[in-house]
Amino acid sequence: CYCSTFRVDSQVPCDPGLEEQNEDNGNWAKYFAVQYTPNVRCKVPTTEAPQSDGLQRLLPISVLTISMNKVSEGVNDNKLSIAYYREKTEELGKAVLHLTAVEISLDVDADRDGVVEKNNPNKGSWKWGPSGHGAILLVNCDSESTYMKKVDSSTDKVTKVSDLLDMSRMVLRTNGPAELPQGYKLALQISQSDGESIRVFKKRKPEGAMKSLHKIFSMFVKEFPLVLGNDVLSQEVPYVGGSNEVDFFVEGLRFPDKDFGGLVTINLSLLEPSAQDFPETPIFTDKVVFRVAPWIMTPNTLKPVEVFVCSTSDNNKFLKEIKALVEGSGYKLNICKEYMNRGDRWMQDELEFGYIDAPHQHFPVVLDSPRDGKLQNFPYEVLLGPDFGYVTRMASDEKVTSLDSFGNLEVSPPVTVNGRAYPLGRIIIGVAFPTTSQGRNMTKVVQDFLWAQKVQQPIALYSDWLVVGHVDEFMTFVPAPDRKGFRLLLASPDAGYKLFHRLQNEGYGKAKQFDGLGKKHEITLDELLSDKALRAENLYVQNCIDWNRDVLKRELGLDDEDIIDLPILFKILEDNRAAAYYPDMVNMIVLGNKLGIPKPFGPKVNGRCALEAEMCSLMVPLGLSCTFIDDFASYHKLLGEVHCGSNVRREPFKTKWWSLEL
Amino acid sequence: CYCSTFRVDSQVPCDPGLEEQNEDNGNWAKYFAVQYTPNVRCKVPTTEAPQSDGLQRLLPISVLTISMNKVSEGVNDNKLSIAYYREKTEELGKAVLHLTAVEISLDVDADRDGVVEKNNPNKGSWKWGPSGHGAILLVNCDSESTYMKKVDSSTDKVTKVSDLLDMSRMVLRTNGPAELPQGYKLALQISQSDGESIRVFKKRKPEGAMKSLHKIFSMFVKEFPLVLGNDVLSQEVPYVGGSNEVDFFVEGLRFPDKDFGGLVTINLSLLEPSAQDFPETPIFTDKVVFRVAPWIMTPNTLKPVEVFVCSTSDNNKFLKEIKALVEGSGYKLNICKEYMNRGDRWMQDELEFGYIDAPHQHFPVVLDSPRDGKLQNFPYEVLLGPDFGYVTRMASDEKVTSLDSFGNLEVSPPVTVNGRAYPLGRIIIGVAFPTTSQGRNMTKVVQDFLWAQKVQQPIALYSDWLVVGHVDEFMTFVPAPDRKGFRLLLASPDAGYKLFHRLQNEGYGKAKQFDGLGKKHEITLDELLSDKALRAENLYVQNCIDWNRDVLKRELGLDDEDIIDLPILFKILEDNRAAAYYPDMVNMIVLGNKLGIPKPFGPKVNGRCALEAEMCSLMVPLGLSCTFIDDFASYHKLLGEVHCGSNVRREPFKTKWWSLEL
**Choice among A4-18, B25-39, B137-151 with the minimum mean pLDDT:** A4-18
Q: Which residues of A440-473 are buried (b: 16+ CB within 10 A; e: fewer)?
A: bbbbbbbbebbbbbebbbbbbbbbbbbbbbbbbb
- pLDDT bucket at B645, cuts 50 / 70 / 90: very high
Residue A408, Cβ density class (10 Å: 0-12 exposed, 13-18 middle, ≥19 buried): buried
pLDDT value at A259 more than 90:
no
- Give the model's pLDDT for residue A435: 58
- Separation of alpha carbons B579 and B570, rounded Å: 5
The whole-angstrom separation of Cα B154 and Cα A660 is: 42
pLDDT at B436 over 90: no
Contact A547 B282 (CB under 8 A): yes
Q: Distance between CA atoms of A270 and A140, rounded to whole angstroms?
A: 30
pLDDT band for position A10 (cuts 50, 70, 90): very low
Question: Reduced to 3 DSSP states, what percent helix, strand and coil does chain B have, rounded to the nearest 5?
Answer: 20, 35, 45
Q: Which CA distances in Å does A626 have to A357, A488, A512, A641, B214? A: 33, 16, 22, 15, 67
**Phi/psi of residue B250, each to 5°?**
-105, 130
Mean pLDDT for A61-70 is 78
Residue A460 has pLDDT above 60, yes or no: yes
| Residues of A marked as catalytic | 349, 470, 472, 644
How many distinct helices (H) and strands (E) make up chain A? 11, 41
Pick the residue from chain B with its C-alpha nearest to A284.
Answer: B547
**Of A2-11, A391-400, B185-194, B620-629, which range is least confident?**
A2-11
| Averaged pLDDT for residues A614-626 | 97
Contacts for A510 with CB less than 8 Å, ≥ 6 apart: A524, A525, A526
Q: Do B21 and A505 touch (CB under 8 A)?
A: yes
Distance from CA of A542 to the nearest CA of B (A): 10
pLDDT at residue A603 is higher than 80: yes
Nearest-CB residue to A269 (from B233, B267, B435): B435
User: Which residues of chain A have a CB within 8 Å of the CB of B275?
Assistant: 536-537, 539-540
Whether the pLDDT of residue A61 is over 60: the answer is: no
A4 pLDDT higher than 50: no
Of all residues in chain A, what percent carry a pLDDT higher than 70? 92
Which chain B residues are within 8 Å of A560, Cβ to Cβ?
11, 63
Whether A133 and A206 have beta carbons less than 8 Å apart is answered as no
| CB atoms B279 and A576 under 8 Å | yes
Verify whether the Cβ–Cβ distance A28 to B190 is below 8 Å: no
CA-based nearest residue in chain B for residue A192: B437
Range from A16-25, B259-268, B424-433 carrying the lowest mean pLDDT = A16-25
- Residue B17 to chain A, least CA–CA distance (Å): 6
**A77-81, B15-19, B421-425, B471-475 — which is least confidently predicted?**
B15-19
Closest chain A residue by Cα to residue B573: A278
Distance from the Cα of A411 to chain B's closest Cα (Å) equals 22
Confirm if A231 and A429 have CB atoms less than 8 A apart.
Answer: no
* pLDDT (0 to 100) of residue A27: 53
User: What is the per-residue pLDDT for A378?
Assistant: 96
Q: What per-residue confidence (pLDDT) applies to B215?
A: 84
Work out the pLDDT band at A45, boundaries 50, 70, 90: low
Longest dimension (CA), chain A: 125
> For the segment A204-214, what is each residue's pLDDT rounded down to a tens digit?
887 778 888 88
Q: How far apart are CA A617 and CA B534, in angstroms?
A: 92
CB contact under 8 A, B434 and A283: no
The answer to whether B525 and B504 are in contact (CB under 8 A) is yes
Does residue A17 have a pLDDT over 70?
no
Nearest to B434 among A25, A191, A572 (CB): A191
Q: What pLDDT was estimated at residue A5?
A: 34
pLDDT surpasses 60 at A22: no
Residues B286 and B104: beta-carbon distance below 8 Å? yes
Alpha-carbon span B197 to A386, nearest angstrom? 44
Instruction: Identify the weakest region by mean pLDDT among A375-379, A433-437, B501-505, B650-654.
Output: A433-437
Q: What is the 3-state secondary structure (H, E, C) of B368-406?
A: ECCCCCCCCCHHHHHHCECCEEEEECCCCCCCCCHHHCH
Q: Is the pLDDT of residue B20 over 60?
A: no
B contacts of A281 (beta carbons < 8 Å): 540, 543-544, 546-547
- The tens digit of pLDDT for each residue in B381-433 reads 999 999 999 999 998 766 899 999 999 999 999 999 988 899 999 999 999 87
Closest CA to A196 of A238, A161, A229: A229
| Confidence grade of residue A25 (pLDDT, cut at 50, 70, 90) | very low
Q: What is the ipTM of this complex?
A: 0.71
Please tell me the predicted confidence (pLDDT) of residue B2.
Answer: 25
Testing the interface with B: which of A265, A543, A571, A614 to mutate, by most B Cβ within 10 A? A543
pLDDT at site B64: 77
pLDDT per residue over A342-351, tens digit each? 999 999 999 9
SS3 B464: coil
How close is the nearest chain A Cα to the Cα of B538, in Å?
10
Contact A244, B447 (CB under 8 A): no
**Confidence check: pLDDT of A26 > 60:** no
Handedness of CA B582, B586, B587, B590 (dihedral sign): positive
For the segment B321-326, the average pLDDT, to the nearest whole number, is 97
Cβ neighbours around A614 below 10 Å, total: 22
Q: Which range among A203-217, A648-662, B630-644 shows the weakest confidence by mean pLDDT?
A: A203-217
Of A189, A276, A435, nearest to B189 by CB-CB distance is A435
- Which residues of B does the annotation mark as catalytic? 349, 470, 472, 644
Mean pLDDT of A264-276: 87
Chain B residue with CA closest to A460: the answer is B191
- Residue-level pLDDT at A3: 28
Determine, for residues A505 and B547 on separate chains, whether the beta-carbon distance falls below 8 Å: no
Mean pLDDT value across chain A:
90
Return the pLDDT at B91.
79
User: Average pLDDT over chain B, rounded to whole?
Assistant: 90
**Closest B-chain CA to A577:** B278
User: Does residue B500 carry a pLDDT above 60?
Assistant: yes
Please tell me which of the candidates A189, A502, A533 has its beta carbon nearest to residue B17.
A502
| Averaged pLDDT, A483-493 | 97
Residue A8 has pLDDT above 60, yes or no: no
Q: Give how far B526 is from chain A: nearest CA, Å.
A: 11
Q: Is the pLDDT of residue A321 over 90?
A: yes
Tell me the average pLDDT across B496-513.
Answer: 95
- For the cut 50, the answer to whether the pLDDT of residue A15 exceeds it is no
Say what the pLDDT of residue B397 is.
66
Nearest CB to B497 within list A17, A278, A501 = A17
